[in-house]
Structure 1
Amino acid sequence: MGFFNKLKEAALKEAKKKIMEELGLGGDDDETKPTMTTEEFERTKPDELRKDIRMISGCQDRQTSADVSNVSSFQLPDPAGKAGGACTSTLLNILYADEQVPEDDLSFVEVLEEMRIKLKSEDYSQIPQLSSMNPIDVNTKFDLVPDTATGTKRAVMIGINYVGDDPGELSGCWNDVLNMKKYIQDVHGFEEENIVILMDDGIHTEPTKANIIDAYKTIIAQAEENDAIFLHYSGHGTKLRDDDGDESDGYDEALVPRDFQTNGMIRDDDLYELLLKNLPDGVHMTSLMDCCHSGTILDLPYLFKGDGSQTEMTLDPNMNLDAFIEKLTGKLMEFLQAKMAASLSL
């Protein structure tokens, strides 16, 4: 951390301490930090955080995600090949079954819990999660693309098998992309020219760090109000030591591009800048992350686990909300002052 960043951090900490003392909350010690309710957070959060961003992840941060050698038990229509990711294959299995009964739409909670039941029946321990920028009523109809997204539908789909890596080569990531591509085209009407595919198959654009970043930048730059963005990643995920102090567990989650050995990973902090921070207002974005340690890889504040432990979305209790707000908006002090004013008015 540079000298001026250290000065800024110290100033923010001191200013926050004063505000917390005015609130009668004992300063900045971790033990005295208040637990925010959803109502408090929604009432005081900056407008920049009121974007329609949601993510389905195949597992929690501490879990690994499975690669399935034979997806026949998932009963996908005309699958691209035998292998596939457990998360992608399970989700497609449930969504295709739901399409067969159009009068009985599944809710978010039903999709997530059915995913967990299916994964458990196949002896996978991973717990799927839904996270979002805004609270979602998980008892409402599940959708990859909201009905309100009436504009152009665009997708970036990344499948990395790490061909030739030993250890580390995967077998199902290309198939995941092709199977999911078929679904979003057949069911949601995505057009071929609006789907960008990156795969290390020698045919498509190579999923290097630079190419992935460029694809993400481009889809955000193209987006306009009422458009829908779908992001799908199937490959390795990992955890790295947090390098800027914004992670409560001390680790960043990261995507593993094909050239990671020479050019490094794509950290969750990078995804902040690429996707969340620059998403235009009125654009709907859904991400499916089928990789290890993907639970909070977009660091979205609301969380719902598909293990039956929750009945509604809640603020992620492990999230550093101060760092989240400061990084995305630079308005931590305004947020705390608004919270203080709201508390004093009660």
Structure 2
Amino acid sequence: VGWREETNPLHSRGDVRMFSGCADEGTSADVGSVYGAAGGAMTTAFSEVLRAHARPGYVDFMKLLYENLRSRGLKQRPLLSSTQRFDIDRQFGLDDACPNSNPKIGRTVRKRFEPQPTVTAGPLAELLGAFLVHALAGR
């Protein structure tokens, strides 16, 4: 448990915390809801944990999210991202924004990276494009 700052962080004036179902390069699972509709596994876990534990600490909240996902046979690991550091020992709440404590607002570039190929390039994109054209022409 602890903070890891991105190589090239982008700090904003806002106090934003984002819970995600997996790392950026991963894939989050979809599950069926109690109403039979598809729903995100992380969203379902988030709701269930908050119903069962009104105001857990952030560390406990992340552990409870992970345990909830594992109990349903899902291997994804939830992540918490934030626009600034904050006391992770405090209770989780949707109404507890902190004043900005970032020493700099905007992008800090520490390292330049080569552009990554986009999903819209390569053989898969060509195949999907051909499929789309065929599907539209068939209508």
- The TM-score, its normalising length taken from structure 2, stands at 0.58
Question: In percent, how many aligned pairs have the same letter?
Answer: 31
The two structures, once aligned, show a CA RMSD in angstroms of: 3.7
> Structure 1 counterpart of 2:50, which letter?
L
Write the mapping of 1:152-171 to structure 2, written as runs, cut at 5 A. Answer: none
Q: Which residue of 1 aligns with 2:42?
A: 87
Structure 1: gaps spanning 5 or more residues: 1-37, 73-79, 100-104, 149-245, 255-260, 263-346
Structure 2: gaps spanning 5 or more residues: 99-110, 120-127, 130-139
> Structure 2 counterpart of 1:125, which letter?
K
1:94·1:111 contact (CA, 8 Å) conserved in 2?
Answer: yes
Query: What secondary structure, in the 3-state scheme, does the structure 1 residue paired with 2:16 have?
Result: strand
2:58·2:90 contact (CA, 8 Å) conserved in 1?
Answer: yes
Which string of whole-angstrom CA distances, capped at 9 and with x for unpartnered residues, describes residues 129-175 of structure 1? 11111102111111223267xxxxxxxxxxxxxxxxxxxxxxxxxxx
2:15·2:97 contact (CA, 8 Å) conserved in 1?
Answer: no
Query: What secondary structure, in the 3-state scheme, does the structure 2 residue paired with 1:84 have?
Result: strand
1:50·1:134 contact (CA, 8 Å) conserved in 2?
Answer: no
Query: What secondary structure, in the 3-state scheme, does the structure 1 residue paired with 2:80 have?
Result: strand
1:54·1:133 contact (CA, 8 Å) conserved in 2?
Answer: yes
Count of aligned residue pairs for this structure pair: 104
Give the structure with the higher percent helix: 1
> Structure 1 counterpart of 2:80, which letter?
L
Q: Which residue of 2 aligns with 1:13?
A: none
Structure with the bigger RCO (C-alpha within 8 Å, sep 6+) is: 2
Write the mapping of 1:190-269 to structure 2, written as runs, cut at 5 A. Answer: 248=113, 251=116
Q: Which residue of 1 aligns with 2:107?
A: none
Match for residue 94 of structure 2 among 138, 144, 153? 144
Which string of whole-angstrom CA distances, capped at 9 and with x for unpartnered residues, describes residues 10-59 of structure 1? xxxxxxxxxxxxxxxxxxxxxxxxxxxx8xx9xxx99x744312211111
Tell me, in whole angstroms, the C-alpha distance in 2 between the residues paired with 1:109 and 1:253.
35
Tell me, in whole angstroms, the C-alpha distance in 2 between the residues paired with 1:82 and 1:128.
22
Match for residue 52 of structure 2 among 86, 97, 121? 97
> Structure 1 counterpart of 2:43, which letter?
T
Match for residue 20 of structure 2 among 53, 57, 61? 57
Tell me, in whole angstroms, the C-alpha distance in 2 between the residues paired with 1:146 and 1:251.
37
> Structure 2 counterpart of 1:110, which letter?
D
